[in-house]
Structure formats: C-alpha cells, structure tokens
Amino acid sequence: MKTVFKLIILTLFVSLYSCETEDVTIENDLNREPVKGCETAFAYGKDDEAICFIDDDELDSNRWGWSIGPIYADHYESYLIYQGAGGCNLNNGEVIGTLNVVYESDYVLVDFVANEGYGFYETHLYIGDEKYPRKRNGQYTVAPGQYPYSNDIPGGASDDSYKIDDVEGGIYIIAHAVVCPYKKDKPN
C-alpha cells in the first residue's frame, strides 16, 4: 500500500510540474483588448417615443430602460444608446453608440453601432405590437434575457444587426446591450 501511495504522489508531482505554459493571445472582432467597466445599455427613443420602464404604471419594474414606439412602416431613424443611465436619467448615462432602425412594409432592420472605444458583448432585442414582451404567465417583462432576439458576442464587436420579417402595424422596440470599453492593442 505504501508503494501505491508513493506512486500516486510521484505521478501527481510530475504531472503538476511538467506542464508547459505559453502565452495565449485572444483576438476579437475589434482587434482590441477589453478593459474593465462593462455596463448595461439601452436605446433611447425621442421624447415622444420613449417609455421609461420605471415610469410606466402598467409595468411593475424597478429596472431602467426604454421601450420605443409605437413606430410605423416607412420609419428610418437613429436612436442614441446610453449606458449606465440608472433611473432613466440621461444625465447619469453616457452615449456609447447608435441604434439604426429601418421599418419597411413588412420587415425591420436594426443595427447596433458602437462608438469608438466601445464594443458589444451581448445584444438583446424586442420587437412587437405591445410595449413589452410577455412572460409565459402573460405578465409583462423587461428582463433582456426574455427578449425574443439575442446574440452573445464573446470576442466583442463594434456592431450587430438583426432583420425581423413579417412585421406590420404599429410596433415597439426595446434594444439592450452589454457594452465594454476597449483600448487599442499595442503593437508587438
């Protein structure tokens, strides 16, 4: 039994100290490296189109963000994307990009475009004929994980696009993203 125990210890020792290490370089779509400070961000509609989650009596939520709408076909608009605008207070937030929306007769194109120095790690999108998506139990939700369209972008990206077909009438849009600041890679 002593021999078996010594053999196990020796095997463990050799395996721990014989591993080679190497530097790993991770490239992303932006050719930049992420830095600390990721934030949640939402697109903000014009004053007459923006519905703050917190201020809507039909919604019981303490989460900040906006539903944009209703908008109708032949709509071509750009909206600012704010990060960190807690309480829907634009003065608390920072503009980190633009949401471009094209609503033609039966489809919607949505483009998330980050400002220089920022990248998207996740995007979540709701488009529907009600202000908010509904949970299975029929109650409204504004939780981005419940939106019908989403992309995970592990390496980050400076833009992300969606095309939603079979759309008609007045619609609402909620556009959420996880945004991280970036700095340019240093040359080798």
* Interval 6-61: pLDDT, tens: 333 433 333 333 333 333 333 333 444 444 589 999 999 988 899 999 999 999 88
Is pLDDT above 90 for 69?
yes
Q: Is 121 helix (H, G, I), strand (E, B) or coil?
A: strand
Q: Are 103 and 171 in contact (CB under 8 A)?
A: yes
pLDDT tier at 184, thresholds 50, 70, 90: very low
User: Could you tell me where the DSSP H helices lie in the chain?
Assistant: 2-17
Q: Are 81 and 178 in contact (CB under 8 A)?
A: no
- For 73-86, the pLDDT digits (tens) are 999 999 999 999 99
- Tell me if the pTM is above 0.85: no
